Every structure is written in structure tokens, then in C-alpha cells.
Amino acid sequence: MTRGKPTAANRLRLCLAATALAVTVVGLTGCNYVVFLGYLIGGPPSIEPAFDLETNKSLTDYEVTVAVVCYAPKELKWDFENIDYEVGKYVAYRLGEHKVKFVNPDIVRDWLDKNPDWDHPEEIGVALGTSYVIYIDMQEYGLYEEATAHLFRGHAEVMVSAYEMSDDGSGEKIFSKELTSKYPLHAPRSTSEVTYSTFKKQYLSRLSEEIGRMFYESYHGDDIHDAM
């Protein structure tokens, strides 16, 4: 499987990870010091996406196309009206940043609006002629720390599945993984520090990254900038 060159964002993450680890170099001796130097020179080891590991397939393969679909129950959409479309859009563009060819989220949304009685994600793959359908089933989503109205902390529970489409128009679920998300990682953020709309965008970006890592290569240290 061919991998592209690291993006500027990934190179920045590698530098941040190396900087964070540099504070420990004073206490390293012998073999540990050699290992640490190798880490700094070569960068942190990459993490192969769970989808590739479990299926021996890749969304970046030649001529592969993907439709991203998100489902949110009515009780979530009462508070976050377009959350299904927003999550689907953020994930689709996140995959696109990592060389995955995706169907425009507006095309997916248009099909869903015209076919409100659809039952199975495979139907979307057939209609849009894609190789895979990434189906995100949202079970929980929120932007505030529990029992507070003055602290932001994004949280979500989602089930992410991948359906592979066949030439005969059928589809098969070949991957499924549950994700529990929380952002910021270590402490909530005061509502006096950031606006609601800005924090919402930040969390959608973070959530799409967590989902996206199931399908593209990531690196140890990628979470450093999302810790606070």
C-alpha cells in the first residue's frame, strides 16, 4: 500500500511530539538514550488505521470512492438540528485531506432528503455508485461539561461502520468500531474563553479527526494540541 508524504500538519505534530519528549532526555541513559535519539531523528512511529488492519483494504486504493453518512436520533436533533449533516461533512472532508476520494456531502444530503424512507446504508452506495459507505451512528453528543452551563467539553458516543459495495449492487458490512470521544482531553474550557460557535467547530474538527483515524494513518503525539 502506497503512502503519501506527510502533510504540513503532520510534520508540525511530529515536531510537537518530539519537543514534548525532549524534556525527558536528561534522565535517559544507555539503550534508552539510543532509542530516544532514534525517535527524534525518525519521528514517532505511525499508527496503522483500524480499518486497514481488520480488512486488509484501504480507502486510499486506486479508484476507491466513499460516501459518508451520519444518522442522529430525533432527541439529538432537537438540540442540534443539523448534527448528522455536519458530522458527515466534517468526516468526509477530513478523509479528503488524507487522499480518500469522497462524494460531496451535499450530494449525499440531497439523496437522503429525497429518500427519507431509506433503511440500509448500502442503498446509498448503490444510488451514488461508491466503493464504500462509511456509516456513523450517533448515540450521544453534547458540548457542555456534565451538569454545567459555563464549561465547554465536547463528548460523543458513535458507532462507525464501513460497508463494501459489490458489482452486483449488494453491500456487506466489513468493519465496525465504537468510539467514545471527549474534548478537551484533560479539562473543560470556560465559556468565557471561547464562543459557542467557535467551540462547536473545534469539537466537530476533533471528532472528525478521531473518526478519520480509523481509516488513515496517524502518529503518536497527534493528540498533544488537543489536550487543553
Q: Please indicate, yes or no, whether residues 23 and 53 belong to a single structural domain of this protein.
A: no
Q: Please indicate, yes or no, whether residues 11 and 26 belong to a single structural domain of this protein.
A: yes
Spell out the SS3 assignment of the chain: CCCCCCCHHHHHHHHHHHHHHHCCHHHCCHHHHHHHHHHHHHCCCEECCHHHHHHCCCCCCCCCEEEEEEECCHHHHHHCCCHHHHHHHHHHHHHHCCCCEECCHHHHHHHHHHCCCCCCHHHHHHHHCCCEEEEEEEEEEEEECCCCCCEEEEEEEEEEEEEEECCCCCEEEEEEEEEEEEECCCCCEECCCCCHHHHHHHHHHHHHHHHHCCCCCEECCCCHHHCC
pLDDT at 196: 97
pLDDT at 25: 43
Q: Residue holding cell 456531502?
A: 105
CA 7-13-14 angle, 5° bins: 90
User: Which residues form the domain of 190?
Assistant: 47-226
Cβ distance 182 to 155 under 8 Å? yes
Q: Please indicate, yes or no, whether residues 109 and 189 belong to a single structural domain of this protein.
A: yes
Q: Please indicate, yes or no, whether residues 25 and 61 belong to a single structural domain of this protein.
A: no
Q: Residue holding cell 468565557?
A: 192
Q: Please indicate, yes or no, whether residues 30 and 67 belong to a single structural domain of this protein.
A: no
Take residue 214 and report the three cell numbers written for it.
480509523
Q: Please indicate, yes or no, whether residues 181 and 87 belong to a single structural domain of this protein.
A: yes
Q: Please indicate, yes or no, whether residues 39 and 56 belong to a single structural domain of this protein.
A: no
Q: Please indicate, yes or no, whether residues 30 and 54 belong to a single structural domain of this protein.
A: no
What is the chain's alpha carbon radius of gyration, rounded to the nearest angstrom? 20
Q: What is the CATH number of the domain that holds 59?
A: 3.40.50
Q: Please indicate, yes or no, whether residues 104 and 141 belong to a single structural domain of this protein.
A: yes
Q: Please indicate, yes or no, whether residues 182 and 129 belong to a single structural domain of this protein.
A: yes
pLDDT in tens, the chain (228 residues): 444 445 555 555 545 454 544 444 444 444 454 445 555 555 668 899 999 999 999 999 999 999 999 999 999 999 999 999 999 999 999 999 999 999 999 999 999 999 999 999 999 999 999 999 999 999 999 999 998 999 999 999 999 999 999 988 889 999 999 999 999 988 999 999 999 999 999 999 999 999 999 999 998 766 666 555
Domain total of the chain: 2
Q: Please indicate, yes or no, whether residues 39 and 57 belong to a single structural domain of this protein.
A: no
pLDDT at 46: 86
pLDDT at 4: 47
For the entire predicted model, the pTM comes to 0.80
Please list the residues that pair with 164 across neighbouring strands.
132, 172
The last residue of a domain, from among 44, 60, 78 = 44
